[in-house]
Amino acid sequence: MLISLSAFFLVAGAVFFLAGTLGLLRFPDVYTRLHALTKADNLGLGLMVLGLMLQAESLAAAGKLLFIWLLLLAASATAGQLVASWAQGKGIAPWRR
Amino acid sequence: MASLNLLPLAIDLVLALTLLWLAWRALSSPDLFRAVVLFIALGLVLGLVWVRLDAVDIALAEIALGAGVTGALLLAALAKLQSAEAETADASTEQEGDWQGCSQALAEPDAKSKPTLTASATMDATGSAMPIALRILLALLLLVPLAGLGWVVWQLWLPAPGLTDLVAARLEASGVAHPVTAVLLNFRGYDTLLELAVLLLALLGVWSLSSAPHLGDEEQEPALAALSRLLAPLMILVAAYLVWVGAHAPGGAFQAGSVLGAAGVLLRLSGWRVPPRATGWPLRLVLVLGVVVFACMGLVVMAFGQPLLGYPPGWAKPALLAIELAATLSIGAILAALFIGGRP
Amino acid sequence: MTSVLVFALAGVGLIVLGFYALLVQRHLLRKVLAFNVISSGIFLLLAGLARRAPGAEPDPVPQAMVLTGIVVAVAATALALAMIQALRAATGRTWLGDDGDEE
Amino acid sequence: MPMPLSGAEWAAALVFVPLLAALACFLVPRAANWLGLLAATLILFATLGLVRGLLGDGPLRVAVGAWAAPLGIDLVADGLSAVLLLMTALVGLGVSAFAPAYFAEHSEQRRWFWPLWLLLWTALNGLYLAADLFNLYVMLELLGLSAAALTALSGSATALNAAMRYLFVSLLGSAAYLLGVALLYHGYGTVDMVLLGERLEAGAVASAALLAMVAGLLLKTALWPFHFWLAPAHGSAPAPVSALLSALVIKASFYLLLRLWLALFSGLAGLLPTLLPELLGLLGAAAILWGSVQALRQRRLKLLIAYSTVAQVGYLFLAFPLTGVQAGEIAWRAVLYLALAHGLAKAAMFLSAGGLLRFAGHDRIADLDRAAQRLPLTLTAFVLGGVSIMGLPPSGGFIGKWLLLEAAFTQGRWGLALVVLVGGILAAGYVFKVIGYAFTATKIAQEGEAVPLAMQWSALLLAFGAILLGFAAPWFWPLLEVGAPFAAPLAEIGTEAIAEVGAVSEAAP
């Protein structure tokens, strides 16, 4: 039961990663690509962490996994902000249809 | 059953081919920034390979040092080279990728670089010195060592007597419970001492070449500053943990030192400075501390009738811990200083 | 066990690839990359084969050697990069010049 | 008089004194001159202590830490390492005495010269004492990085370019060497030279390792056609650094090559180990002729001396075909004598070139303008060094060449003997070219700057050393005989240690 739940989360996470990667490759400008990277991939990693936490040997190990996810959230938010503000400073206009 | 056995092999094959492909792309990409990013990716995949090979210590070091520190150094150097290039007001030869400016944003324009010879400065382009025929000839010639080395590796297929058993037999006396740390700090501690000296030497060389601090004097990003304030204490904690855990599991001074160095770099980028009164001998003392403690510890034991770097029974554990702590501090400081570039 | 062979052979490939790039490429930064690829290949050979013995623990001695080697490679890279920047500042070049009799 | 310290302690001092002194110089730059000189004196003292111990007790083999090879790292010292340590200590002291005056006008360079040079010295001493192939790799890297950083010290465009190339050559050389080490470890399960010497068998692994290591070390030793990097690097570095690079650094990689050949590969059967000595001899001969002709063509003094080094490296490789598989000891002794004489003489020549550079502000040979009359001590040093390079009696170079000729004659290798003679004549040509210009006045008389006496005397004393070496042969042979490095594989030094280790490894599983 636990295993199949874990597998479900892992696969779901992988799907979000795939979507994020697709967005990175297909989206038209730097701002939209940032969306793909930060949103979809963070969610994907979160699901994977959840799936792995279910298999974790101890509470401490599960905590470490959760911690990694939180760190990544903070780091990717900052990185996204840095890239976007650099692009804005460079005068790259957001894409419009 | 057979498919289960083949799956890991298939994964490893894919990993190995990815390695070669990334290396080829990194070395042949016409855009330097892309080349560096691909090289960093190569380091990360290599980290995965080390995990597959049960070498977690190396995986940590590869990702922290091989991909992380080397990558950061490469990006910083590239940014400085290109901002100097932009200053000479030449048409840039490197294709400006979307992301390229990120690295430039990290660095101030290098104000010290002289106005330079310009016509030749941009000649690089994709940068091969050789005509294509010669390159093909060289590639064909290199097939010989490729085949030869491959053949030799094939010969090495038969398991040879390693030192695994000997290390295991002496692990008890080494003062640590993790074999790699035992080899690194005790059995082959002499190498590690000199390796610390090599790292320090690189910093001496870098400082002998340049006099001005280069990096991190630009305006700060508030988000980065906030993240740095959040992360720096955490990274110091992680470094301490890595030193401590190195005694019985993968980890140790070099991995911890690189985390510490990264914390220093982050702090620097978010505007923190070493106070001016500490940039003189106090900073230098921190930089040499690892080698000094290691060397003095090795010599002091000789006064007690032990061989050079031979710790008396029972004393190995505290001695190694002291060495590791000092080494971690020094490695962190040296790596951060290498990244920042100019001497204070 | 066969995986070990795969990675060791990949190491050989990296060595030869890096050597080719070191000779062919002109930009010094690319030469630094090439040197790092060569080093990685050698490390892969050195510590990869440590896993040969089936079922046993990998040999820690080559692993420790590779850790040493990685640190040395980082040190060498840092020095090389600083030297490239100094060369760039002094000559405007990012590649090696002919230096027979230049005064 | 009883020995104050044991051989093992002298050996430890040889590595740790320069290491700690380098750190001290970095910490307290103001005291660097004194610290450096103190360290140089201490190192000479320790070297003499070690030599005394070797002459009394025979070859030294100690484990670092409580672990003997193959688990730990061993240090060894025999006659071969001792003479090279001795040369390093003498040249090092000479250069250390020269440097304070030379760098007095460049305080920024002085600040980095001392720690870098002392780390270089650490690497040299450590390399001569090491018996562990991986430890040797670390030493090689320490050596290569410090040498490249020292080359770039002056900061000029030419120096930076040369240093950059030197750095890449050095890194590539060490990488090739490490590849060999990796193959040997996985083939034979140890990186200890003695144990490897016992276990090594002819085969693909040994051949590949031999090729990789020899190629890497030839690159570092600058044997023709790998000499392309040497002249710019040695010619553009500050004079004391040039002296170190030419006299000492080249010798270290040659020593390692020689040591590997003697301890590991010379006994192997097979095509490669029989062909390689002949090839090395041919390359050596080519280096002598090419380097000498290039030296004759140079118009700048330091480049002339640098190309002379390219030629002198060639002599060192002439011994390989002369001894080959059947160990003819005379040729090895000859080569070692030549290496020592070249170390002292070449250091003297580069230091006097530094003096001339200070005196005239340039090193164009044609404009030396009566330097001989106005700077007699420095010119004497140059001439005496040149005498040894030419191989005139009674210099150390003469003894070396004489022995080399003797070995060539006894084996009927007339071609090699001819190369030795022609090389000597060409050397006379380029040395006299300099002397001639130094005695004549140029059309426009030039003012000369004063050259500090410390710079003049340190060069002169080193040159005297090169000459006196010609008389030191009787004292020199017994030292070289310690441990019989040329007769037997290294293995015989530490049979007890190996027996002990063998017992341990049997007990281990």
pLDDT average per 10 residues of sequence, chain B (344 residues):
71 94 93 94 95 92 91 91 66 38 37 36 51 88 91 79 84 88 92 96 92 56 80 90 89 91 86 76 93 94 86 87 94 92 71
CB D300 to CB C101 under 8 A? yes
Distance from CA of B245 to the nearest CA of A (A): 15
3-state secondary structure of C1: coil
CA distance B246 to B205: 30
CA distance D235 to D151: 9
Searching chain C, which residue's CA lies closest to the CA of residue B116? C92
CB B285 to CB D16 under 8 A? no
Q: Which two tokens stand for residue B128?
A: 């091969």
Minimal Cβ distance to D138: which of C72, C76, C97: C72
Are C79 and D167 spatial neighbours (Cβ–Cβ below 8 Å)?
Answer: yes
Q: Is A77 on the interface with B (CB under 8 A)?
A: yes
CA distance D171 to D173: 5
Q: Which of C25, C99, C102 to mutate to test the interface with D (most CBs of D within 10 A)?
A: C99
Contacts of B80 in chain C (CB under 8 A): 85
Q: How many CB atoms lie within 10 A of CB B86?
A: 13
CB B223 to CB A74 under 8 A? no
Distance from CA of B209 to the nearest CA of A (A): 31
Give D131's contacts (C-beta < 8 A, 6+ positions apart).
D61, D69, D73, D74, D75, D76, D192, D193, D194, D490
CB D138 to CB B309 under 8 A? no
Q: Which stretch of DSSP H or E encloses residue D64?
A: strand D60-64
Give D191's contacts (C-beta < 8 A, 6+ positions apart).
D70, D132, D133, D134, D135, D181, D184, D185
CB B102 to CB A74 under 8 A? no
Q: Which stretch of DSSP H or E encloses residue D62?
A: strand D60-64
Q: How many CB atoms lie within 10 A of CB B300?
A: 12
Contacts of B308 in chain D (CB under 8 A): 8, 12, 62, 64-65
Report domain extents, chain A.
2-89
Q: Is B66 on the interface with C (CB under 8 A)?
A: yes
Searching chain A, which residue's CA lies closest to the CA of residue B225? A78
CA distance B39 to C18: 12
Are D485 and D78 spatial neighbours (Cβ–Cβ below 8 Å)?
Answer: yes
Indicate if ipTM > 0.85: yes
Q: Between C and D, how many residue pairs show a Cβ–Cβ distance under 8 A?
A: 94
- Chains in contact with chain D (at least 3 beta-carbon pairs closer than 8 A): B, C
CA distance B70 to C76: 10
In a domain? residue C98: no
Q: Is B136 on the interface with C (CB under 8 A)?
A: no
CA distance D267 to B132: 43
Q: How many CB atoms lie within 10 A of CB A94?
A: 12
Are D209 and B181 spatial neighbours (Cβ–Cβ below 8 Å)?
Answer: no
Q: What's the mean per-residue pLDDT of chain A?
A: 89
Q: Which stretch of DSSP H or E encloses residue D365?
A: none
Tens of pLDDT along D298-307?
999 999 999 9
Q: Which two tokens stand for residue C21?
A: 């790039």
Scored b (16 or more CB within 10 A) or e, B103-129 reads: bbbbbbebeebeebeeeebbebebbbe
Do D and A share at least 3 CB pairs under 8 Å?
A: no
B213 burial (CB, 10 Å; 0-12 / 13-18 / 19+) is middle
Q: Is B237 on the interface with A (CB under 8 A)?
A: no
CA distance B177 to B154: 34
Q: How many CB atoms lie within 10 A of CB D349?
A: 35
Sign of CA dihedral C26, C27, C28, C34: negative
Contacts of D183 in chain B (CB under 8 A): 152, 156
Q: Which stretch of DSSP H or E encloses residue D61?
A: strand D60-64
Overall average pLDDT of the A85-93 stretch: 83
Q: How many CB atoms lie within 10 A of CB D279?
A: 14
Contacts of D163 in chain C (CB under 8 A): 83
CB B310 to CB D145 under 8 A? no
Q: Between A and B, how many residue pairs show a Cβ–Cβ distance under 8 A?
A: 28
3-state SS, chain B, equals CHHHHHHHHHHHHHHHHHHHHHHHHHHHCCCHHHHHHHHHHHHHHHHHHHHHCCCHHHHHHHHHHHHHHHHHHHHHHHHHHHHHHHHCCCCCCCCCCCCHHHHHHCECCCCCCCCCCCCCCCCCCCCECCCHHHHHHHHHHHHHHHHHHHHHHHHCCCCCCCCHHHHHHHHHHHCCCCHHHHHHHHHCHHHHHHHHHHHHHHHHHHHHHCCCCCECCCCCCHHHHHHHHHHHHHHHHHHHHHHHHCCCCCCCHHHHHHHHHHHHHHHHHCCCCCCHHHCCHHHHHHHHHHHHHHHHHHHHHHHCCCCCCCCCCCCHHHHHHHHHHHHHHHHHHHHHHHHHCCCC
Dihedral angle over CA of D164, D165, D166, D171, nearest 10: 90
Q: Is C73 on the interface with B (CB under 8 A)?
A: yes
Contacting B residues, span 92-131, partner chain A, CB-CB under 8 Å: 98-99, 101-102, 105
Query: What is the identity of the amino acid at D34?
Result: W
- Name the β-bridge partners of D63: D74
Give B100's contacts (C-beta < 8 A, 6+ positions apart).
B31, B33, B82, B94
CA distance D325 to D329: 11
Q: What are phi and psi of D449, to 5 degrees?
A: -90, 155
Among B128, B127, B84, B126, smallest CA distance to B107 is for B84
Contacts of C42 in chain D (CB under 8 A): 175, 178-179, 182
Number of structural domains in chain C: 1
3-state SS, A23-90, equals HHHHCCCHHHHHHHHHHHHHHHHHHHHHHHHHHCCCHHHHHHHHHHHHHHHHHHHHHHHHHHHHHHHC
Q: Is C87 on the interface with B (CB under 8 A)?
A: no
In a domain? residue C64: yes
Query: What is the reported pLDDT for B160?
Result: 67
Q: Pick left, alpha or beta for residue D189 (phi over 0 → left; psi -120 to 50 → alpha; otherwise beta).
A: left
CA distance D244 to D246: 6
Minimal Cβ distance to A82: which of B223, B230, B234: B223
In a domain? residue C100: no
Query: What is the identity of the amino acid at B273?
Result: R
Q: How many CB atoms lie within 10 A of CB D290?
A: 17
Residues of chain D with pLDDT under 70: 1-3, 324-328, 487-509
Are B333 and B259 spatial neighbours (Cβ–Cβ below 8 Å)?
Answer: no
Contacts of A75 in chain B (CB under 8 A): 227, 231
Query: What is the reported pLDDT for D442?
Result: 79
Q: How many CB atoms lie within 10 A of CB D336?
A: 26
CB D175 to CB C39 under 8 A? yes
Searching chain C, which residue's CA lies closest to the CA of residue B79? C85
In a domain? residue C97: no
CB C62 to CB D161 under 8 A? no
Contacting B residues, span 266-285, partner chain D, CB-CB under 8 Å: 281, 284-285
Are B71 and B39 spatial neighbours (Cβ–Cβ below 8 Å)?
Answer: yes
Q: How many CA atoms lie within 13 A of D127 on its CB side?
A: 29
Scored b (16 or more CB within 10 A) or e, D53-83 reads: bbeeeebbbbbbbbbbbbbbbbbbbbbbbbb
Identify the DSSP state of D78: -
Long-range CB contact pairs, B272-275, < 8 A, 24+: B272/B228, B274/B344
pTM score, whole prediction = 0.91
- Give chain A's largest Cα–Cα span: 53
Query: What is the identity of the amino acid at D182?
Result: A
Searching chain D, which residue's CA lies closest to the CA of residue B145? D208
Query: What is the identity of the amino acid at D158?
Result: T
CA distance A96 to A27: 12
Query: What is the reported pLDDT for B227?
Result: 83
- Name the β-bridge partners of B128: C25
Contacts of D145 in chain B (CB under 8 A): 198, 201-202, 205
Strands D60-64 and D73-77: antiparallel
Contacts of C13 in chain B (CB under 8 A): 19-20, 23, 146
Tens of pLDDT along A19-53?
998 988 888 888 888 888 888 889 999 999 999 99
CB B32 to CB C63 under 8 A? no
CA distance D348 to D396: 14
Q: Which two tokens stand for residue D157?
A: 């465009």
Q: Is B299 on the interface with D (CB under 8 A)?
A: yes
In a domain? residue C102: no
